Amino acid sequence: MARVFIPATLRDRCDGRSEVEVEGATLRQIVENLDAACPGIAARILEGEAVRPDLALAVNGVVGAEGLLERVPDGAEIQIMPAIAGGGAG
């Protein structure tokens, strides 16, 4: 079971809830199961076969490199956040 934090503007899909608990061992399963709980939400998160280019899914606060294949440990927290870049320090 993972705890998905729902951003404010997606809560209309989840009866106003800010967190939803769903099953899933990978992010793909999490998104599929989330869509079952909150119909239509997957269409907002995905574009084609991948996460929307301007979004990122974090597992326990960390955005991994494996996209929807990222493993999700039991009890994990999932955040849906904008994809953002860094600068550079030299």
Among 54, 73, 74, 75, binds other proteins (CB under 8 A): 54
CB 57 within 8 A of CB 63: yes
Among 7, 21, 69, 71, binds other proteins (CB under 8 A): 7
Instruction: Return the residue of 20, 31, 38, 80 that touches other proteins, per CB under 8 A.
Output: 80
What is the distance between the alpha carbons of residues 64 and 56, in angstroms, rounded to a whole number? 9
Give buried/exposed letters for 58-90 (b at 16+ CB in 10 A, else e). Answer: bbeeeeeeeebebebeeebebbbeeeeeeeeee
Decide: is 67 part of the binding site for other proteins (CB under 8 A). Answer: no
DSSP reduced 3-state for 67: helix
Instruction: Rule CB under 8 A: say whether 68 interacts with other proteins.
Output: no
* Of the residues 49, 62, 73, 75, which one makes contact with other proteins according to CB under 8 A: 62
Give the footprint of other proteins on this chain (CB under 8 A): 5, 7-10, 18-19, 44-45, 47, 52-56, 58, 60-65, 77, 79-90
